[in-house]
Chain A
Amino acid sequence: MKQVEKMKVLRNEKIARSIFEIELEGNLVQHMSGPGQFVHLKVTDGMDPTLRRPVSVCRYERKKSTFTMLYRAEGKGTQLLSRKTAEDTVDVLGPLGTGFPTDGLKPGSRCLLAGGGIGVPPLYELARQLKAGGHHVTTVLGFRSKEDVFYEEAFREFGDVYVTTEDGTHGAKGFVTDAIDRHVPVWDRYYACGPRPMLRALETKLGTGGWLSLEERMGCGIGACLACVCDEKNGPGYRKVCTDGPVFPAGEVVV
Chain B
Amino acid sequence: MTDMRVSLPGLDMKNPIMPASGCFGFGKEYSEFYDLSLLGAICVKAVTPSVRKGNPTPRVAETGGGMLNAIGLQNPGLDHVMEDELLWLQQFNVPVIVNIAGTTPEDYCRVATAVSDLPNVKAVELNISCPNVKEGGIAFGTDPVIARDLTEKVKKVCSVPVYVKLSPNVTDIAGVAQAVEDGGADGLSMINTLLGMRIDLATGRPVLANGTGGLSGSAIRPVAVRMIHEVSRKVQIPIIGMGGVTCADDALELILAGASAVAVGTQNFVDPFACPAIIDELAEKVSRYNVSSIQELSGRSWKTSATQLLTNR
Contacts and interface: CB of A to CB of B under 8 A. Distances in A.
Interface of A: 1-4, 42, 47-52, 93, 216-230, 236, 238, 243
Interface residues of B, number: 35
B236 interface: no
Contact of B61 (A217, A221, A222, A236): A217
23 contacts: A2-B272, A47-B218, A47-B246, A50-B62, A51-B60, A52-B270, A216-B58, A217-B57, A217-B59, A217-B61, A218-B60, A219-B67, A219-B269, A220-B29, A222-B30, A224-B23, A225-B23, A227-B57, A227-B58, A228-B57, A229-B54, A229-B74, A238-B54
Interface in B270-310: 270-273
Nearest to B51: A236
Contact of B57 (A220, A221, A224, A229): A229
A236 B54 CA distance: 12
A220 B60 CA distance: 11
A4 to B, nearest CB: 6
Contacts of B24: 224
Nearest to B59: A227
A4 B273 contact: yes
Contacts of B22: 225
B67 A222 contact: no
A189 B43 CA distance: 45
Nearest to B27: A224
Contacts of B175: none
B32 A2 contact: yes
Given A50-B65, A224-B30, A42 B273 contact: no
Nearest to A76: B62
Contacts of B54: 226, 229, 238
Interface string B29-47: 1101100000000000000
A93 B271 CA distance: 9
B64 interface: yes
B29 A224 contact: yes
Interface in B45-95: 53-54, 57-67, 69, 71, 74
Given A42-B270, A229-B74, A51 B67 contact: yes
Contacts of A222: 29-30, 32, 272
Most buried by B among A52, A222, A228: A222
Given A50-B217, A52-B269, A219 B60 contact: yes
B173 to A, nearest CB: 24
Contact of A236 (B33, B53, B74, B271): B53
Given A220-B268, A227-B69, A228-B57, A49 B62 contact: yes
B216 to A, nearest CB: 9
Interface string B2-46: 000000000000000000001111001110110000000000000
Contacts of B60: 51, 217-219, 225, 227
A82 to B, nearest CB: 18
Interface of B: 22-25, 28-30, 32-33, 53-54, 57-67, 69, 71, 74, 217-218, 246, 266, 268-273
B69 A219 contact: yes
Given A222-B29, A224-B268, 11 more contacts: A1-B32, A50-B63, A50-B218, A50-B266, A220-B29, A223-B25, A223-B28, A226-B59, A226-B71, A229-B74, A238-B74
Nearest to B208: A217
B29 A223 contact: yes
Most buried by A among B59, B63, B217, B268: B59
Nearest to A225: B269
Given A224-B25, A224-B29, A225-B23, A4 B272 contact: yes
A148 B28 CA distance: 41
Most buried by B among A50, A220, A223: A50
B4 to A, nearest CB: 25
B23 A47 contact: no
Contacts of B74: 226, 229, 238
B62 A51 contact: yes
Most buried by A among B33, B62, B67, B273: B62
Most buried by A among B57, B61, B64: B57
A50 B57 contact: no
B182 to A, nearest CB: 35
Contacts of B270: 42, 50-52
A175 to B, nearest CB: 21
A4 B71 contact: no
A216 B60 CA distance: 10
A2 B32 CA distance: 8
Contacts of A218: 60
Contacts of A230: 57
A159 to B, nearest CB: 35
A105 to B, nearest CB: 31
Contacts of A216: 57-58
B89 to A, nearest CB: 14
